[in-house]
Amino acid sequence: MRLPPTTTALRSGPPATAGRESVASVTVTSVSFEGQARPREEGTSPGRTLFPQPRVPDTVGSVKSHTSSLRDGRHARWDEHRRLRRRALLRATREAVHDLGPHPSMEEIAAHAGTSKSVFYRYFGDKAGLQEAVSQEAIALMERRLLEAVGTSSDPRLALGAMVETYLRMADSSPHVYAFSVQSAHGQQDGADAQTLHGFFERMHQTLEERLRAHLAAAGREAPADGDPLLLWPTAALGMVKAAGEAWLSASGGPGRATAEQTAAQITGWLLNGLTGSTTSTTSTTSAPSRTQRSTS
């Protein structure tokens, strides 16, 4: 756009000030229009404009918006990279614990993973933070599998048996990882991993209480009232399954060792029938990995 000579005078002359100042026969008033002065001729009415005011696009706002989008995109890619890297380090930790035992050092874990321990410190802070992250992941996986087992049968007895068997199979797939995550968290009084395990037991307690009520209803019995000692059964069942399962894990292997299915049937029979009752026959509906396979799902 070619500007008239008066415009050149405006660009080259002194800056406009408040009031009325004559510059090359053009008067610049203090009236603003989108942040700029409105020029008019001397002697003309205030409403008459000497030449149209050009509109300048908001390029600064566009640049800022584009820069913000680029920054957000970089942050999203970096967050995804860190998430995948953290997940890979947790998997490498489980593999190291599976092979080395439940009490490896950070140096041993890093060497097994083929990296330096500074990488683990960067993502988890220290060994306690790493163990906490492994515990949370392992407990979450176990909870999902146990809840899936409950849904395998509408029969309360079979559903309970499936839960017990799933627990035993998962723990037996890697006793070292189980000890590193679940047993270590259970031995703590506070901390994030202890809270995770506490929440897990609370939800399992609720599930077992629901199974108890379903079992009583199927037998034609009323649900226990408040204060009934039978309401202690879910707590007792959780303690029994955990203690019996860990004792079974620590037993030496061999041809005389009961299988997970046999042990689950015996424990379920104790829970439902007592010592004098018959064991509950459960049909294996799980496909948890064997002890020879790594617990890295």
Domain presence at residue 197:
yes
| Tens digits of pLDDT across the chain (297 residues) | 454 544 444 344 444 444 444 434 433 333 333 344 444 444 445 555 444 555 655 555 555 565 566 667 778 888 898 999 999 999 999 999 999 999 999 999 999 999 999 999 999 999 999 999 999 999 999 999 999 999 998 888 899 999 999 999 999 999 999 999 887 665 555 556 678 888 899 999 999 998 888 888 888 998 888 889 999 999 999 999 999 999 999 886 677 889 999 999 999 999 988 876 555 554 444 444 445 444 444
- pLDDT (tens digit per residue) in 24-47: 443 333 333 334 444 444 444 555
Residue 70 structure tokens: 């680029």
Q: What is d(CA 241, CA 282) in angstroms, rounded to the nearest whole number?
A: 16
Structural Rg of the chain based on CA atoms: 37
Domain-embedded: residue 213? yes
Count of structural domains, the chain: 1
Give the CATH number for residue 180: 1.10.357.10
Domain that holds residue 141: 79-273
Residue 161 contacts residue 273 (beta carbons within 8 Å): no
103-115 pLDDT, tens digit per residue, is 999 999 999 999 9
Q: Is residue 98 part of a domain?
A: yes
Strand partners, 26: 23, 41
Within a domain: residue 16?
Answer: no
Q: Is there a domain that residue 147 lies in?
A: yes
CB 275 within 8 A of CB 266: no
126 within a domain of the structure (yes/no): yes
The three-state DSSP-derived secondary structure of the chain is CCCCHHHHHHHHCCCCCCCCEEECCEEEEEEEECCEEEEEECCCCCCCCCCCCCCCCCHHHHHHHHHHHHHHHHHHHHHHHHHHHHHHHHHHHHHHHHHHCCCCCHHHHHHHHCCCHHHHHHHHCCHHHHHHHHHHHHHHHHHHHHHHHHCCCCCHHHHHHHHHHHHHHHHHHCHHHHHHHHHHHHCCCCCHHHHHHHHHHHHHHHHHHHHHHHHHHHCCCCCCCCCCHHHHHHHHHHHHHHHHHHHHHHCCCCCCCCCHHHHHHHHHHHHHHCCCCCCCCCCCCCCCCCCCCCCCC
Whether 217 is in a domain gets the answer yes
Indicate whether 95 belongs to any domain.
yes
